[in-house]
Structure 1
Amino acid sequence: MKCKEKVEISAISGSTVSFTTEGSNGSEGYGVFQSKDNILPPKTQLELENGKASEYQVTHPTSYMDTMLHIFRGNIGSGLLAMGDAFKNGGIIFATFMTAILGVICVHSQHLLLNCSEEMHRQLKREKPPGFAETVYLVFLHGPIRLRPIAPSMKLLVNAFLCTTQLGFCCVYIVFIANNVKMICDFYGVEVDLSIHMIIVVIPVLLACMVRNLKYLTPFSTIANIMMAIGVSVVVYEASRDLPPISDRDYIANWQQLPLYFGTAVYAFEGIGLVLPLKNEMRRPEQFQKPLGVLNVGMVFVGSIFIVVGFLGYLKWGDNVMGSLTLNLQAGLTSSNVVQSLIALAIMFTYPLQLYVPVDITWPALRKRFANTSPVAKELGYRAMLVLLTFILAESIPHLGLFISLVGAVSSTALALIFPPLIEMVVASQKPEGASCFMIIKDCIIILMGVFIFITGTYESVASIIRAFQG
């Protein structure tokens, strides 16, 4: 049977980063930043039986700084430009401190996922450390007897949240692009409804998503990263000019707005699918999780950028801050038009890569059942259906800030704050010493926080969307 060529991408930034030749089962191969060659060389059965699989070799290993750059590229995206709206919903003082705390919790959860993946890799002598969904599955499968029957359901649940997150990103992208295009067109007198802009935007997006081999989109991904870097730099520069005093802003927002803050902040920090493959590709993987390792140092910089952008965005524009800071740039200026065009194009280029994740997870099973004949045509039809689904959802909820908060509350919260501490307790329960009281209390607090954000964030996002339509 011929192996399928597979392109692996970042679930966060959508950047194509590797090409591997393997059969895809839809359970792994998403949310990664890897080199352009096979990460893992083939292992012989003898090596696996001798337990040597844990010491696999990387064809083109990355250095400390290479991995650090991938951390930046993987976490800085559309969520960054929404941090001004997050600070508006949190308050300039509350959001500043809470974003730092939330960043620490999210990074801690990433460490928990890494530890559990390593534990399953060590115990089962697998060829490589398992991915996110596979880790959750294996933890429950080899956990307490009463939990083992739900292992397949837990894997399915993680994949469902991953698909929901990625399709949510795609919906946000359509709204994001259409809003920026509309602002440019309005200035030049081409004033049409936002929904018309969405229809126009979805046409090139749909055509781009018909490219099944994402290898051909790699150059566009690199261009998109450059465009995003330039655009964000200009936005930060504009936001830092002629700032009013901090006393003009709310120190802490109304309690009803706080769930919207948490949803947006978690959306921005939700890069947990990135950490496993990044570590596995390093020349010295042990440098990834050290106190001054790539993950901690990189996320300190990422979190600092989030805080600076959110703080300046809200301080500069106050309650008028938009769901994307690009929409607050002064209309008509050449710099504003260039920035909005660059970032809109960057997001458009990354849409097909974000869509690859739900296609990779869901299509293999559908192909076996429905695509015995004309598999290529049916896959293209399925891709078109998913694009149209995101378009319909985007048309239904065209409020960018509320949409981002909803996506963050519904799916990002579960992936970042609920599953990692849950599987840590399951793994610890199988060890002779069991789970310590400190671990149980700490993990339960994180889980309860995740459940709280999930419930209140979803409720308030939906309620705010309803109020926006009624108004």
Structure 2
Amino acid sequence: MDVCKNEEDYNPYEHRQVKKPNSDIRSLANLLKASLGSGILAMPLAFSNAGWGFGIIGTIIVAFICGHCVHIFVKVSRGCCKVMKRPLLNYAETCEAAFTIGPKRLRPLATSARIFAEVAQLLTYLGVCCIFTVLIADSVKQLFDRYVTSFILPIEYYCLIILVPLCFMCQIRYLKWLAPFSLIANVLLVATFLICIYYIFKDEITISDKKIIGSPARLPAFLSTVIFAMEGIGVVMPVENSMKKPQHFLGCPGVLFIAMSFIMMLYTILGVFGYFRYGDELKGSITLNLPMDDWPAICAKASIAVSIFLTYPLHFFVVIGVLTRFSEPYIKKEYRNWAQILGRTAVVLFCGGIGVALPMLEHITNLVGALFYSMLGLIIPGVVQTVFLWEDLGRYNWILWKNSLIVLFGVFCAISGCTVTVLDIIERLQSRTV
């Protein structure tokens, strides 16, 4: 198949017919919201695991790797669109197309590659929705425990209570309609960030007792948290595919470049100075370390709860997209609307059930980051680009060597991060029973 000829003959952007396309600003808001969430508030805890010196360097390196993986995946998707003369491809379809175009020996694996990618997306964003459920419940519980003392409930009950409004929010079916909520959530998140910065610099900071490099045994936990915080690749293809001008997504300055630069800067600032302020006492979200008797801190806790609540449907969009593609062919057209309503409600309740069963915010965050985001954001993009460019891997096969290192890094993060997190969960559960 002549890739170059197809690239000259077919421009996928000219053939896209997107219902309710997004502007560059709205696309940037959705992309920022996909990566800016509970992850940024977990960065100080990540720095407490790694030490501030390693944390700064590690965050910059991970941001570069994650941004590069998103970049190469979008380029592969565009290349596949040109070769196969398709206006757009989603994440899983890109994986299938790359194997279809790649070496003949791998072409029979194309369908398996698509199914694997779909399942990886589904599990990743189910995990994210579980994390968001616990974070919202944690923040609401802190406020109620402090100001409604006659109404003390375990966190599991708050997880169940917030499922009702989440079920209604998740009935929104178009990214265009989610964009205003993303903008509001971004404003609230920035406000929370500024309040956290205020408390961090409110008093004199002591760094002499803070670690420059943490224990090697805790470095996998750092990597898991940072990868979770940085990655938003499952939302990237829906955002790029729904843009009015998708050619503005890549490039410098493109939507992706602006988003990743802003994300890296915020994460590093809050991570290092949050660690300087609270040290090893940090919790899964820095807002949980803020005092309970100051109005700015109260506003921060309320703002992050509302912000994550408004962000939930954006990540849920990926989950329901995968489930719809699997189930829709088996559902009669006249029943599809009811199937959507009931299916969306069932998924929200399932994520709430996981939150009730395992309400450990930092541990779920590390587990999702280590296992699912490493697979979705590092391993799969490295493999897919290698397969797609198999006939032209550059001088000395440098693309093959580069992607091999990315895949090995992803595998290391997955294995080491899961091991450390599972041991932490076992230790915590045992301490509860003692």
- TM bin, normalised by shorter chain, reads 0.7 to 0.9
Q: Is the 8 A contact 2:15 2:87 kept in 1?
A: no
- 2:267 corresponds to: 306
Residue correspondence of structure 1 range 270-309 to structure 2 within 5 A: 270-276=231-237, 281=243, 283=245, 285=247, 288-290=249-251, 292-309=253-270
- 1:29 corresponds to: none
Matched, 1:78 2:38: yes
- Residue 240 of structure 1 aligns to a residue whose secondary structure is helix
- The structural deviation recorded for 1:405 is 0.8
Pick aligned residue for 1:93 from 45, 53, 56: 53
Change (3 A) 1:298 1:227: closer
- 1:237 corresponds to: 198
- 2:3 corresponds to: none
Change (3 A) 1:74 1:455: same
- 1:368 corresponds to: 329
Q: Structure 2: how far apart are the matches of 1:293 and 1:392?
A: 39
Larger deviation, residues 78-87 vs 216-225? 216-225
- The structural deviation recorded for 1:440 is 2.1
Matched, 1:381 2:339: no
Residue correspondence of structure 1 range 325-404 to structure 2 within 5 A: 325-369=286-330, 374-404=335-365
Q: Structure 1: how far apart are the matches of 2:341 and 2:46?
A: 37
Structure-2-length-normalised TM-score: 0.87
Q: Is the 8 A contact 1:428 1:435 kept in 2?
A: no
Identity value in percent: 30
Change (3 A) 1:372 1:72: closer
- 1:165 corresponds to: 124
| Structure 2 unaligned residues grouped into runs of 5+ | 1-5
Q: Structure 2: how far apart are the matches of 1:248 and 1:256?
A: 20
- 1:439 corresponds to: 399
Structure-1-length-normalised TM-score: 0.81
- 2:285 corresponds to: 324
Q: Is the 8 A contact 1:112 1:420 kept in 2?
A: yes
Q: Structure 2: how far apart are the matches of 1:414 and 1:351?
A: 21
Q: Structure 2: how far apart are the matches of 1:396 and 1:367?
A: 30
Amino acid at match of 2:93: E
Change (3 A) 1:229 1:158: same
- 1:33 corresponds to: none
Q: Structure 2: how far apart are the matches of 1:205 and 1:214?
A: 16
Pick aligned residue for 1:268 from 229, 237, 244: 229
- 1:418 corresponds to: 379
Q: Which has the higher helix share?
A: 2
- 2:425 corresponds to: 465
Change (3 A) 1:429 1:368: closer
Residue correspondence of structure 1 range 214-229 to structure 2 within 5 A: 219-229=180-190
- 1:116 corresponds to: 76
- 1:20 corresponds to: none
- The structural deviation recorded for 1:209 is 3.3
Matched, 1:454 2:414: yes
Change (3 A) 1:275 1:358: closer
Q: Structure 2: how far apart are the matches of 1:131 and 1:374?
A: 25
Matched, 1:209 2:170: yes
Deviations 1:65-106 (Å, cap 9, x if unpaired)? 776555434432221111111111211111111111111111
Q: Is the 8 A contact 1:243 1:315 kept in 2?
A: no
- Count of matched residue pairs: 420
Matched, 1:183 2:142: yes
- Ranked by relative contact order (alpha carbons within 8 Å, sequence separation 6 or more), the top structure is 2
- The structural deviation recorded for 1:443 is 1.2
Residue correspondence of structure 1 range 102-113 to structure 2 within 5 A: 102-113=62-73
| Structure 1 unaligned residues grouped into runs of 5+ | 1-47
Q: Is the 8 A contact 1:93 1:252 kept in 2?
A: yes
Deviations 1:272-328 (Å, cap 9, x if unpaired)? 24545656636582x654455443344222211111111111111111111111111
Q: Structure 2: how far apart are the matches of 1:144 and 1:84?
A: 44
